[in-house]
Structure 1
Amino acid sequence: MRGVRLQLSQVRRSFGKLDVLADISLSVRAGEFVSILGPSGAGKSTIFKLLTGGLQADGGDIRFDGKPLADQTRPFAFMPQRDALMPWRRIVDNTTLGLEVQGMAREAARKRVAPLFAEFGLDGFEQHYPAQLSGGMRQRAALLRTVVQNRAMLLLDEPFGALDALTRSGMQRWLEGMWEHHSWTALLITHDVREAVFLSDRIYVLTERPARVLREIIVPLPRPRRDLASPQASAIEADILETLLNPQLDQRT
């Protein structure tokens, strides 16, 4: 069994009198793709803020590779909901931004990112500005900016939520292929049940606020995943939807 990289144990967080997270426990193993699903406002993004250092937990334990996360340099590369590309920077300069912020010289950063443009479907667009790219290409550029930092784990916060349905479907297939090829370790926040089933090895379903893990669902579908209309995929999707719509009927944790 692959070793656990990220482990959250009974993590709690409140904002004044508002309890947001209540005893959240979950894990992500090396090379695994895990998703978090839950109602709007359930605290999914709060979990990412705890991981990236934007917030501190009120209680519980967060570990990476068995060591307290607070004692380490943050091992995550974070991709937000929007591509957050700077409109005045060319694509090549947007994709190197994370490396430059870390202190890498501009030319060294360009050398590192250059071989990846073709793989990310951006070959020939290095000198374009974000406004000249399609939504899907902008998201690929944002993901390239994220992964080129060579961090131990990807945090993906609804990266395709702003795309139209057809583009989103294509990006999901592309991401699955890239994840398999590079053996990334990834944690995804999404509201899209089908997206979670398509991409994930395991899915954590959260309750409404204050959020707890209601269920952990293993997705045993073979990869690469091409047929989400299969009876098995449809059954998993229907099961998750039933849990989200009627959580009081589900006693599994």
Structure 2
Amino acid sequence: MTRLELRNVSKRFGNLDVLADVSLNVAAGEFVSILGPSGAGKSTIFQLLTGGLNGASGELLFDGAPLDDHGRHFAFMPQRDALMPWRRIIDNTTLGLEVQGVGRKAARARVEPLFAEFGLAGFERHYPAQLSGGMRQRAALLRTVVQQRDMLLLDEPFGALDALTRTSMQRWLEQMWRHHRWTALLITHDVREAVFLSDRIYVLSARPARIVSEIKVPLPRPRDFNDEMARQAGALEAEILDIILNPRTAQRT
């Protein structure tokens, strides 16, 4: 079942065209990525979905109905973990629930059983500065998913991490996604990350952004990347890079 659908969405800022006739969809339990060059309008799509921007033409639909209650559908995780340095990790992870009006005790009761699953057991009373970058991102994702929204929006969540930590976090997220089967839309400019995590990938052109290719990722899960899977993934990454660098020759696959 299609959960999120954009139909012919365009957006201008003054005389600047940012999105041009963008159409895409995300099915229930699917992991979809949006790839494109910097400044192409990827984050503009998320701002439209979360209500940070308005005034776009076209249609934004959720479960077939016009998207008019952004907060009810989406849990959003930005590139930076945005943890509050003066709050302990347990209090950072309950913040989204508290904003919704859930009492502190009830919010903690919902979050605490998940600390072990997210690799944070024993760190509940630590402050963000006492955690590694990867652990901070785990805490940020826990804060996001515990809100139990219909869909996760992930805006380059590992972009600020070093290469080794980013790879470790990608593997962890893929495992978590297989377990929970969240419906997820990821913005990234990392081709390898998109291939590793996604069921499908939309490739955007440079601004004004258009969908130049929709690519299915045929790799089986779990994505353990044995020799054969690594070969297939490498070929797909090369194909996507060629599309990004030569968008006029791209084909939807």
User: Same fold per TM (> 0.5)?
Assistant: yes
Alignment equivalent of 1:161, drawn from 150, 159, 168: 159
Aligned sequence identity (%): 76
Q: Using a 3 Å threshold, how does the CA distance of structure 1 residues 251 and 197 change in structure 2: closer, same or farther?
A: closer
1:48 aligns with 2:46: yes
Aligned to 2:120: 122
Aligned to 2:219: 221
| 3-state DSSP of counterpart to 1:87 | coil
| 3-state DSSP of counterpart to 2:87 | coil
Q: Using a 3 Å threshold, how does the CA distance of structure 1 residues 12 and 196 change in structure 2: closer, same or farther?
A: same
Report the alpha carbon displacement of residue 248 of structure 1 after superposing the two structures with TM.
2.3
Report the alpha carbon displacement of residue 76 of structure 1 after superposing the two structures with TM.
0.3
Instruction: Tell me the distance in 1 between the aligned counterparts of 2:79 and 2:165.
Output: 15
Higher deviation after alignment, 73-82 or 154-163: 73-82
- Once superposed, what is the RMSD of the aligned Cα atoms? 1.2
Report the alpha carbon displacement of residue 247 of structure 1 after superposing the two structures with TM.
1.3
1:223-238 matches, cutoff 5 A: 223-227=221-225, 230-238=230-238
Aligned to 2:140: 142
Alignment equivalent of 1:173, drawn from 171, 174, 185: 171
Contact kept in structure 2, 1:204 and 1:216, CA below 8 Å: yes
Instruction: Tell me the distance in 2 between the aligned counterparts of 1:73 and 1:135.
Output: 27
Aligned to 2:181: 183
Contact kept in structure 2, 1:52 and 1:74, CA below 8 Å: no
Report the alpha carbon displacement of residue 183 of structure 1 after superposing the two structures with TM.
1.1
Contact kept in structure 2, 1:36 and 1:190, CA below 8 Å: yes
Alignment equivalent of 1:37, drawn from 17, 35, 38: 35
1:19 aligns with 2:41: no
Count of residues in correspondence between the two structures: 251
Unaligned runs of 5+ in 2: none
Instruction: Tell me the distance in 2 between the aligned counterparts of 1:228 and 1:134.
Output: 29
Instruction: Tell me the distance in 2 between the aligned counterparts of 1:219 and 1:46.
Output: 25
C-alpha offsets along residues 6-27 of structure 1, whole Å, 9 cap, x if unaligned? 0000001110000000111000
- State the AA in 2 paired with 1:197: V
Report the alpha carbon displacement of residue 232 of structure 1 after superposing the two structures with TM.
1.0
Report the alpha carbon displacement of residue 86 of structure 1 after superposing the two structures with TM.
0.3
Aligned to 1:59: 57
C-alpha offsets along residues 120-154 of structure 1, whole Å, 9 cap, x if unaligned? 00000000000000000000000000000000000
C-alpha offsets along residues 158-212 of structure 1, whole Å, 9 cap, x if unaligned? 0000111111111001000101101100000001000000000000000110101
Instruction: Tell me the distance in 2 between the aligned counterparts of 1:71 and 1:87.
Output: 30
TM, length-normalised to structure 1:
0.97
Q: Detail structure 1 runs of 4+ shifted over 4 Å in the superposition.
A: none
Report the alpha carbon displacement of residue 56 of structure 1 after superposing the two structures with TM.
1.0
Aligned to 2:244: 244
Aligned to 2:92: 94
TM, length-normalised to structure 2:
0.97
Instruction: Tell me the distance in 2 between the aligned counterparts of 1:101 and 1:73.
Output: 11
Aligned to 2:196: 198
Instruction: Tell me the distance in 1 between the aligned counterparts of 2:15 and 2:52.
Output: 20
| 3-state DSSP of counterpart to 1:210 | coil
Unaligned runs of 5+ in 1: none
- State the AA in 1 paired with 2:49: L
